[in-house]
Structure 1
């Protein structure tokens, strides 16, 4: 049931995002709490704008919005698809990352945060 609910909510969110330009003010899209508190960009800042730009075929703008998230999105979509597929078949599934892989993800996220806030 959860994968179907996530799919429906995701479709509704995508429909709203498709019609709402996050580059412009006056929308109901949430802002980044990390950015609001610190004034710095978090590793995911620009993700909403990136998805909007991808949905409208603006690949260069999506690259500019958040390069790391754009590069990681195929893997994230694979994980979401696999979770949904297994859930609809009545199986429980969740990805398992080794401690080394978790450390690598954290290190890349921290490095990306430092890089995008200093360059």
Structure 2
């Protein structure tokens, strides 16, 4: 035991520190995302022989995982081809992209106001996401 008594709860972060942390994280994410987008802009994932990370699930099983086609989808969206992006991964485009955009906007807006927002899903949210992913994976592997 410490000679100063039992440790108390950590002090709540100040609004200014939450804003700084939010801006720092947003700047890092923007920089990493921009670097990835610049690389992907010039690297067509539809062509074989490109230096891109393969899907480990597809590599190991030969089956398409729920996010297979996400890199091709991002490439097609950056080049303005929404139809091809939909073809690459319809569920990720129609459900995943808007959900992630909403979560990022919510986190950024709260952080700039100096508030911390809990991220993560409830048990029911996890079940819904996993259920959609499982149904999508089965459907796309059965249909081909």
- Fold-level similarity (TM above 0.5): yes
> How do 1:5-44 and structure 2 match up within 5 A?
5-44=28-67
Alignment partner of 1:50 is 2:49: no
Q: Distance in 2 between matches of 1:99 and 1:117?
A: 27
- Seen in structure 2, the aligned counterparts of structure 1 residues 88 and 33 have a Cα distance that, compared at 3 Å, is farther
> Partner residue of 1:110?
134
Q: Any stretches of 5+ residues in structure 2 without a counterpart?
A: 1-23
Instruction: Say which is worse superposed, 74-83 or 22-31, in terms of deviation.
Output: 74-83
**Displaced runs of 4 or more, over 6 A:** none
Query: What's the CA shift for 1:45?
Result: 0.1
Flag the structure with larger Rg.
Answer: 2
Match 2:98 to one of 61, 74, 77: 74
- May I ask how many residue pairs the two structures share in their alignment? 119
Contact kept? 1:49, 1:65, Cα under 8 Å: yes
Spell out, residue by residue over 1:14-71, the C-alpha distance to the aligned partner (whole angstroms, 9 max, x if none): 1111111110123221110000000000000000000110111111111110000001
Q: Distance in 1 between matches of 2:93 and 2:128?
A: 18
Instruction: Say which is worse superposed, 22-31 or 6-15, in terms of deviation.
Output: 22-31
Q: Distance in 1 between matches of 2:114 and 2:60?
A: 41
- TM normalised by structure 1 equals 0.89
- Seen in structure 2, the aligned counterparts of structure 1 residues 8 and 88 have a Cα distance that, compared at 3 Å, is farther
Contact kept? 1:4, 1:88, Cα under 8 Å: no
Query: What's the CA shift for 1:88?
Result: 5.3
Which is helix-richer, 1 or 2?
Answer: 1
